[in-house]
Amino acid sequence: MRNKTLKIAALSVITAVAVLAFYAQVLAGSLDKGSRYAERREMVYGAGPQVGDLKAKGGAVGVYVADGLAIEGEGLSYKVKGEPGRREDDAAKRAVSAAIAAKWHFIKGENGSMHLGVGAGGFSSDKPLDHDLASQSLSQQAELGFSYSLKENVSLKAGGRYQRIGDALDPGVEAMAGNFGVRVSF
């Protein structure tokens, strides 16, 4: 039930972001080939009943390899709220991840843009997130979001993200997140 609610909420957020970006033409900073950026990020994940909630903080740096197409590296640290009923000493409390992603800004306007991103990396927690999952595993992500320019080189970014934590043969943990960030382009 909770997973279904999370998926409906995430789909609603993504739809609202898409409509807003399309009609308001929101985006920020230079998207030209060769421009670079650094971004501070915060996220809240709903990871289902087997894990609980994850809160993430971190950042990313990226470079535009073509107009509107960026490659970025991301690092996050997580606080894990364990599943109900799991013994406290068995539950993961902290985790970190590092990932590489591609972001395509497919709607570009004077004040902002909308992007679609995909990426992969590694995830490591102090203890397994799930009984069937190792402490170190792969992580895959997909994101839909927008950014809005505050100044020529400063913008706000928001979006929705799907993240799967687990190797190809693991059942894995699926999580949906809302994220917010501040980007500085240079």
DSSP annotation string for 36-87: EEEEEEEEEEE--TTT-EEEEEEEEEEEEEETTEEEEEEEEEEEEEPPTTS-
- Per-residue model confidence (pLDDT) at position 86: 55
* Domain locations along the chain: 2-185
pLDDT at residue 47, rounded to an integer: 79
pLDDT at 66 over 60: yes
Q: Where are the beta strands (DSSP E) in 126-170?
A: 136-149, 154-165
Q: Average the pLDDT over 46-72 and give the result.
A: 89
CATH topology of domain 2-185: Porin (2.40.160)
pLDDT of residue 104: 97
Answer yes or no: is pLDDT of 97 > 50. Answer: yes
pLDDT in tens, 115-172: 999 999 999 988 777 666 678 889 999 999 999 999 888 999 999 999 988 877 777 8
Q: Is the pLDDT of residue 179 over 50?
A: yes
Given a cut of 70, whether residue 92 has pLDDT beyond it is no
Cβ neighbours of residue 11 closer than 8 Å, sequence gap 6 or more: none
What is the rounded average pLDDT of the residues 83-110?
80
14-24 burial by CB neighbour count: b if 16+ within 10 A, else e? beebbebbeee
> What band does 84 get if pLDDT is binned at 50, 70 and 90?
low
For the cut 50, the answer to whether the pLDDT of residue 25 exceeds it is no
To the nearest whole number, what is the mean pLDDT of the chain?
82
